[in-house]
């Protein structure tokens, strides 16, 4: 998918919402546990309920891997379900992989070819040759961790490296790598004060912004500081949407949370002449 197509989809949906699928069997409605594949049943219901208000889905790999082979089967069914039923929705494998050359290529093939994800989140610590292999696939994206939403972002990302915060060094350095047009960046919504600084370094890239909702980031602030001429934002909410309800009405409860975010987003897009 091109970023032009992604922006058109944002315009059509009047939304830049990404729904995070962090599916925890301890939290899904009890009645689903009787299903043959409760992870997939839950995913399918959430996807169908929220798809009208979203432009992207983001399965979190940890929550699938923790169930071993059956979790991986649920993941493959989930990505197939998304791409069959909502082919214009952008599918992100939140995997935070990062390894060198030939190993990175294997991860890229797992997510882009073996499954049909549009993007995978990746970690920058190992540098150029751990990232470029993910960028060699046309219409596929590596979403590089830049400034994350958690307290641990202060341990290294915000520390001063060669006179500037490490996360700005990551953004500036990665921008010079081969196929950098296939890069997007993770910037936590709780870090909105840094968005202006980030946009100065990567004006055109899409930013994946987690941390709205359960983690407390402010959507208005994120949009004001972070958008660009193609919107340039995918704002993710996971727990606040998918666990909004805990009974048989969980899917409509999720839809209600999603539509609230979508309505705020529609205002942002309208006010800034992006529709």
Active site residues: 96
Asked if 162 touches a second copy (CB under 8 A), the answer is: yes
CA atoms within 13 A on the CB side of 218: 7
Selected range binding a second copy among 50-58, 68-76, 199-207, 224-232, rule: CB under 8 A: 68-76
Tell me the C-alpha distance between 8 and 10, whole Å.
5
Q: Does 85 bind a second copy (CB under 8 A)?
A: no
CA distance 126 to 105: 14
Assess 110 for contact with a second copy (CB under 8 A): yes
Q: Which of 7, 18, 19, 22 binds a second copy (CB under 8 A)?
A: 22
Q: Which of 8, 12, 65, 178 binds a second copy (CB under 8 A)?
A: 65
| Closest to a second copy by CB, 69 or 193 | 69
Read off the DSSP letter of residue 36: S
Q: To 5 degrees, how large is the angle CA 217–CA 257–CA 96?
A: 55
- For 250, what's the count of Cα atoms within 13 Å in the CB-facing half-sphere? 21
User: What residues contact residue 132 under an 8 Å CB cut-off, 6+ apart?
Assistant: 104, 177, 178, 179
Handedness of CA 236, 233, 167, 174 (dihedral sign): positive
DSSP secondary structure letters along 12-53: HHT--EEEEE---TTTS-GGGGGSSSHHHHHHHHHHHHHGGG
Q: How far is the CB of 149 from a second copy (least distance, A)?
A: 8
Question: Residue 75 CB, nearest distance to a second copy (Å)?
Answer: 9
Contact call for residue 261 and a second copy (CB under 8 A) = no
**CA angle, 255 as apex, 241 and 116 as ends, to 5°?**
75
Which of residues 36, 152, 193, 247 is near a second copy by CB under 8 A? 152
Please identify which residue in 58, 169, 199, 227 interacts with a second copy, judged by CB under 8 A. Answer: 169
Residue span binding a second copy (CB under 8 A) among the ranges 29-37, 83-91, 135-143, 150-158: 150-158
The radius of gyration of the chain's CA atoms, rounded to the nearest angstrom, is 18
Binding flag, residue 153, a second copy (CB under 8 A): yes
* Sole window of 3-11, 57-65, 225-233, 252-260 interacting with a second copy (rule: CB under 8 A): 57-65
Q: Is 151 in the site for a second copy (CB under 8 A)?
A: yes
118 phi/psi in degrees, rounded to 5:
-90, -20
- C-alpha 55/C-alpha 35 separation (Å) is 28
For position 115 contacting a second copy by CB under 8 A, the verdict is: yes
Task: Report if residue 72 touches a second copy, rule: CB under 8 A.
Answer: yes
- Which tokens go with 77? 């069914």
User: Which residues make up the interface to a second copy (CB under 8 A)?
Assistant: 22, 24, 60, 62-63, 65-69, 71-73, 76, 94, 96-104, 106-107, 109-110, 114-115, 123-131, 145, 148-157, 159-162, 166, 169-170, 173
């Amino acid at each position: 998918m091109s970023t032009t197509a992604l922006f058109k989809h944002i315009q059509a949906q009047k939304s830049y919402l990404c729904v995070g699928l962090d599916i925890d069997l301890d939290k899904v409605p009890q009645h689903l546990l009787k299903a043959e594949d409760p992870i997939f049943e839950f995913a399918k219901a959430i996807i169908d309920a929220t798809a009208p208000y979203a432009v992207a889905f983001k399965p979190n790999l940890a929550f699938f891997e923790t169930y071993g082979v059956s979790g991986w089967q649920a993941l493959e069914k989930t990505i197939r379900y998304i791409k069959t039923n909502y082919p214009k929705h952008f599918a992100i494998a939140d995997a935070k992989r990062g390894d060198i050359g030939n190993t990175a290529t294997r991860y890229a093939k797992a997510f882009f070819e073996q499954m049909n994800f549009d993007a995978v989140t990746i970690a920058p610590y190992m540098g150029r040759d751990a990232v470029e292999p993910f960028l060699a696939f046309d219409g596929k994206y590596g979403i590089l961790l830049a400034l994350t939403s958690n307290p641990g972002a202060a341990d290294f990302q915000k520390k001063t490296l060669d006179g500037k915060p490490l996360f700005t060094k990551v953004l500036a350095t990665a921008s010079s790598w081969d196929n950098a047009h296939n890069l997007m960046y993770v910037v936590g919504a709780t870090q909105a004060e840094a968005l202006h600084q980030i946009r100065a370094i990567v004006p055109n890239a899409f930013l994946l912004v987690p941390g709205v909702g359960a983690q407390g980031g402010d959507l208005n602030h994120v949009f004001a500081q972070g958008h660009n001429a193609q919107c340039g934002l995918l704002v993710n909410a996971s727990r606040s949407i998918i666990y909004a309800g805990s009974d048989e009405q969980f899917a409509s409860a999720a839809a209600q949370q999603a539509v609230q975010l979508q309505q705020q987003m529609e205002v942002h897009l309208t006010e800034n002449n992006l529709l």
